[in-house]
Amino acid sequence: MAPEPLAGLQVLVLDDEALLRRRLAASLTAWGAEVTQVAACAEAERALRELDFDLVLLDVHLPDGRGTDLLRAGRVPEATVAIVMTAEGGVSGAVEAMRLGAADYLVKPFDLEELPVRIERARRSQRKRRAEEFRERAAAPAEALFFGRSLQQVEAQVRKILEADRRCQGPLPPVLIEGETGTGKTTLARWVHRQGPRAGGPLIEVNCSALPEALAESELFGHERGAFTDAAKTRIGLMEAAEGGTLFLDEVPSLAPALQAKLLTAIEDRMVRRVGASRAKPVDVRIIAASNADLRARVADGRFRADLFQRLDLFRLRLPPLRERGDDVLELAARLAQQIAARYGIKVGAIPAEGRRRLLAYPWPGNIRELAHEIERAVVFDAEDGLHFRALGGGDAQAATAAPAVLPSGFTFPESGFALESVIDQIVRQALEQAGGNVSAAARMLGVTRDYVRYRLKQSTSPGSGA
C-alpha cells in the first residue's frame, strides 16, 4: 500500500472560519497528518510554545491580529514550514509573506485536492532555503585531512563513495568507518559529508556512547508531548534534525539492542516514529556510522545485530592505527605543529632528527588525538628549543645502540609466524614485576611513557586478547 502523502506530519491550522478549518483538518488527517486546530493568534502562540510542528497553515486576518505577525515576531520556528492563506490576492501580499519567511501563499478559495502537492513543494522550498544557509559554512575550508601514502587505499575507497553519491538521484547509502579511538573517524566523516552532494545540508554528530540509555530513543527519534514524565512538549529527534543532510553515529555499538532494531527500521524504511507517536514520518538522511571495535567480531559474539551490521556494511572504510602508518607520522606531525603554532602565535621550525626518531619510536596508543596533544605540549613548552618531544622518551641514537639484547643468541623467527604483540605484553609485565608494580619505574626501564604501560596492560587483559 502506498504511503499517505503527508504521513506523520504535525500540522497547525490557524483560521477563524470554522467550516474551512474543519475541512482542512479532515483532508490533512486523511492524508496522514496529525492536525491541531486554532482560531486566533493567541491560541496559535500557545500551541507553538508547547508543540513542535512540521507545518503551519495560517490565515492573515484573525480576530486578535494578523497571522503574519507570528512570522514577523519569530513565533514560528525556522524548522517549521509556513504557508499563508488569505482571501486577498495580489503580488504585494505574497511578497510580504515570503519576506517574512513563508514558503508558499494560497489565495482562498483553493482546491483542497492540490494541497498535498503545494505542501510538498513548500517543504522542498524550505529545505532549499536551509541548504543555502548551510552552504556558506560548507564552502569554508574543510577540516584538514591528510591521507598520505599509508592511506592510499582508504583515499581510493572514499573517491569511489563520492562518485557513487553523485550518481545517486535519491537517498544515499550508509557508510561504515572502523578504527581505533583517535584514528580520525570523525574527521573522515566530516570530510565525506562536505565533499559530497549533501554538503549544503546539516551534519548532525552523535556520540552514541554518551547518550543516556533511558533517553537515547528520544534523542535519536524524538518524542510526542506527554510520551513520558518529562516530555512537556513535542520534540524532534536528531535523525529528523539531519533531514536533507548527514547523521554521523559515532561509537554505534554502544546502542542498546532494542535501539539498534529501531535504527535498522528507520534506515530501511526511511521513516522515523517519535516516542509516543501513532504514526511514522518520512526522513531523508544519509547515515555514517563509526566504531572503534570490529563489528564483525561484535556480531559473532552477539553484541551487535547482524542485520544492522549488514545494512551499514555497504561502504566500509578502515582507518589503521597511527603505529601502522610509518613515515606518514612525521608529515602529519609537521602539519599539526604548524596549525597549532599558528593558533598560539608561536613560530616553529622543522622537527629535528631527535624529535623525528622519538615520533617514529613511540607506539601512539591514543593515535592522532594523542599525537596532537603531544605536539601541542611541545609547541607551547619547547618551541624555542626545538620540538624534541622529550616527554615521549627514547629516540636517542646512542641509547639505542647500547640497548641490551633481549633475544637469546642464535634466535631465528619461526616460519609459521611470531606473536609480537604477546611478546610485548610479556616484556611489559616482566618490567612491571621487576619494578614491584610501580608503573612509573617500569616505564623508565622500558623507555616509554606511563600511559603506554597502562595501555599495554589494558590491552592484554581486555576480552578477546588471549591473556
Looking at every residue in the chain, the average pLDDT score rounds to 84
Whether pLDDT at 296 is above 90: yes
Q: What is the pLDDT of residues 374-428, one digit of tens each?
A: 999 888 887 777 888 888 865 444 444 444 556 666 667 777 777 777 888 888 8
For the domain that residue 86 is a member of, what is the CATH number? 3.40.50.2300
In a domain, 226, yes or no: yes
pLDDT tens, position by position, 282-295 = 899 999 999 999 99
Averaged pLDDT, 443-458? 77
Per cent of the chain over pLDDT 70 is 88
CATH number of the domain that 311 lies in?
A: 3.40.50.300
Query: What is the pLDDT, as a whole number, of residue 402?
Result: 44
Q: What percent of the chain has pLDDT over 90?
A: 40
Bridge partners of residue 127, in order along the sequence: none
Residues 315 and 335 in one domain: no
- If one counts the domains in the chain, the total is 4
- The residue range of the domain holding 374 is 323-401
pLDDT at 124 over 80: no
Residues 129 and 106 both lie in one domain: yes
Indicate if 72 and 182 belong to the same structural domain: no
Indicate whether 23 and 45 sit together in one domain: yes
Sequence-distant (6+) residues with CB within 8 A of 348 are: 337, 338, 341, 379, 383, 387
Whether the CB-CB separation of 274 and 224 falls below 8 Å is answered with: yes
Between residues 98 and 286, which one has the greater pLDDT?
286
**pTM (predicted TM-score):** 0.66
Q: Could you read off the pLDDT of 149-184 as tens digits, one per residue? A: 889 999 999 999 999 998 887 789 999 999 999 999
Q: Tell me, yes or no, whether 1 lies in a domain.
A: no
Domain co-membership, 180 together with 297: yes
Judgement on whether residues 237 and 259 belong to the same structural domain of the protein:
yes
Q: Is 204's pLDDT higher than 50?
A: yes
pLDDT at residue 263 tops 70: yes
Say if residue 178 is in the same domain as residue 249.
yes
pLDDT number for residue 108 = 86
Task: Please say if the pLDDT value at position 84 is more than 80.
Answer: yes
| φ/ψ of residue 203, rounded to 5 | -115, 110
